[in-house]
Amino acid sequence: MRKLTYFIACSIDGFIGGPDGDATFMYPFVDEEFLEFLKAEYPETIFSGARTALGIDDLPNKRFDTVVQGRASYDLALKEGVTRPYAHLREYVASRTLTESPDPAVEIVSTDLVGRVRQLKAEDSALDIYLCGGSAVAGELVDEIDELVIKTYPVILGTGMPMFASGFELAEFVTDSVRTFGNGAVVRTYHRKR
């Protein structure tokens, strides 16, 4: 069975974006050391436009072959005229309001997101599923999340979009690794306690 990994960036106080979803506070922390880490460990989490700009389009997918993201995350790309932000992955967008996909290679999941993710997890593949965000989708899929990779940047926002929308019961995870970077960022990896 494939894993669903919530790979997300946040502030020290657990926000993935400001109240309006703006996450530009994170950009200064993607320095050379951090970028080398992403390229070596999670190259498929770098969106297609950045891969092209960095000249790393040819990096193979190492951990994931599929991405699931929410409508708000997807809208960030659409605002830039990009209909496939992760063209190197199979793309699924959870949305109850987007009635038609702007790209034939992007599947809109408008009903039974949990069921669709369970189907994806049951597929025969050596690679896993990347849950890109946002908080409402993560909250809906919390019981399906097998692994957390949390990139924490050394800032406090005070308010904003939480990592998970509220409304679910306690879910326990076990720490696998913690890695610190010179810029103050920390990447923590957890697996679900069974």
Position 174 pLDDT exceeds 80: yes
Both structure tokens of 114: 């949990």
Position 75 pLDDT exceeds 80: yes
Per-residue pLDDT band for 169 (boundaries 50, 70, 90) equals: confident
CB atoms within 10 A of CB 7: 22
Res 20: pLDDT: 84
Position 168 pLDDT exceeds 90: no
- Residue 130 and residue 124: Cα distance in Å, rounded? 16
pTM across the whole model: 0.95
> Which CATH architecture is the domain 4-192 placed in?
3-Layer(aba) Sandwich (3.40)
- Residue 113 and residue 93: Cα distance in Å, rounded? 10
Position 103 pLDDT exceeds 70: yes
Res 167: pLDDT: 72
Domain coordinates in residue numbering, the chain: 4-192
